[in-house]
Chain A
Amino acid sequence: DAKTTQPTSMDCAEGRAANLPCNHSTISGNEYVYWYRQIHSQGPQYIIHGLKNNETNEMASLIITEDRKSSTLILPHATLRDTAVYYCIVRVASVGGADGLTFGKGTHLIIQP
Chain B
Amino acid sequence: DTAVSQTPKYLVTQMGNDKSIKCEQNLGHDTMYWYKQDSKKFLKIMFSYNNKELIINETVPNRFSPKSPDKAHLNLHINSLELGDSAVYFCASSQGGGAGTEAFFGQGTRLTVV
Contact = CB atoms under 8 A, between A and B. Distances in A.
How many interface residues does chain A have, given as a range? 20 to 34
A39 to B, nearest CB: 11
Main DSSP-derived SS at the B contact region: strand
Given A44-B43, A93-B98, A98 B55 contact: yes
Interface in A39-64: 41-46, 49, 51
Interface residues of B, number: 30
Main DSSP-derived SS at the A contact region: loop
Contacts of A46: 102-104
Interface string A74-113: 0000000000010100000111111111110100000000
Interface of B: 4, 31, 33, 35, 41-45, 48-50, 55-56, 90, 92, 94, 96-108
Interface of A: 32, 34, 36, 38, 41-46, 49, 51, 85, 87, 93-103, 105
